[in-house]
Structure 1
Amino acid sequence: MTAQDRNAAREAARRRRSAARLYAVQALFQMEVSGQTTTAVEKEFEDYRFGATTPEGAEMVEGDIDLFRALVDGAVNEQARIDQMTHRALVAKWPIDRIDPTLRALFRAAGAELLSDKTPPRVVIVEFVEVARAFFPEGREPRFVNAVLDHMAREAKPEAF
């Protein structure tokens, strides 16, 4: 395998992980608004979104299924802990219940990854700020997400800073 092939493989794996993060936020949002179970939402995403072609002909990116499942399952299993970390990162008198449901899903997915030992906190922050940009391309939300995730990361992994 050439260096160019290795670089292409690394870039493809990075795109799959990034897609998994985006899909995890979408899945958590969907679970919150529809009341679907983790199992049902994970199956739907894996069967109909990962690598699918939209009716308009656009191809959706293939996601890293293991990371997707780890984020969704981790967010559900550690929701109380993640919500408490998020709440402490938010400004006074602004409870997590009052923030946009998409941001809530994003903080939960990012919190699940911050609590794992697999990804450096700075990478989690950068990746989820990019997810925020995908959902809020014109707004101030990406900066807000950066600030909240920085606070959460310092709480979850103080040794990394």
Structure 2
Amino acid sequence: MNTAARSQARSAARLAAVQALYQQQMEGTALTKLLDEFHQHRLGREVDDDEHEGEVFADAEVAFFDDIVRGVDARREEIDGIVIERLAAGWTLARLDKTMLQVLRAGAYELLARPDVPTATAISEYVDVAKAFFDDREAKFANGVLDAVAKQVRD
């Protein structure tokens, strides 16, 4: 896989990971069932609804997707503690939009546990994921929180 294709596959994996983590939080889906559902029906598969008929989900790097989802699931308490420390006074995780919380969790996990991914790349990628769901104000919020997380967990 060339560098551009790998980069695109990782971007797709990050977006899918945020979606999976959101689904897990909202529905309480067990991790193995969640991963299986995304492997079978989402990652690189044709979109199955009338509005997007014929469109295909971008091919995602499955192992990278799995690592993010499993890593956030396994280290949620640690990750949440780090994120909470970076929020403005008076803010709690419960006050965050549920999708934004997953963006921050996935980004924080990658900064914590994936030293193979450059800091600027991880932050930029999750700012892009935030832009898929929110406007610039929220994307800047994600950038600020993840930048603060990076300063804490990376040299």
Common fold by TM > 0.5: yes
2:99 paired residue among 96, 99, 102: 102
* Counterpart residue type for residue 84 of structure 1: G
1:144 paired residue among 135, 141, 145: 141
Q: 2:35 maps to what in 1?
A: 42
Q: 1:15 maps to what in 2?
A: 8
User: Which TM-score applies when normalising by structure 1?
Assistant: 0.90
Q: Aligned pair 1:61/2:54, yes or no? A: no
Shift of 1:139: 4.5
User: Which TM-score applies when normalising by structure 2?
Assistant: 0.93
Q: 1:76 maps to what in 2?
A: 73
Task: Report the 3-state secondary structure (helix = DSSP H, G, I; strand = E; otherwise coil) of the residue aligned with 1:140.
Answer: helix
* Counterpart residue type for residue 13 of structure 2: A
Task: Report the 3-state secondary structure (helix = DSSP H, G, I; strand = E; otherwise coil) of the residue aligned with 2:131.
Answer: helix
Unmatched 5+ stretches in structure 2: none
- Length, aligned pairs only: 150
Q: Who wins on radius of gyration, i.e. which is larger?
A: 1
Task: Provide, for residues 41-95 of structure 1, a one-character-per-residue CA deviation record: whole Å limited to 9, x for no partner.
Answer: 1111111011111131111101001110110111011111110111011000101
Shift of 1:111: 1.4
Percentage of identical aligned residues: 36
* Counterpart residue type for residue 150 of structure 1: D
Which stretches of structure 1, 4 residues or more, deviate above 2 A after TM superposition? none
Unmatched 5+ stretches in structure 1: 1-5
> Distance in 1 between the 2:36 and 2:98 partners?
22
Q: 1:128 maps to what in 2?
A: 126
Shift of 1:140: 1.2
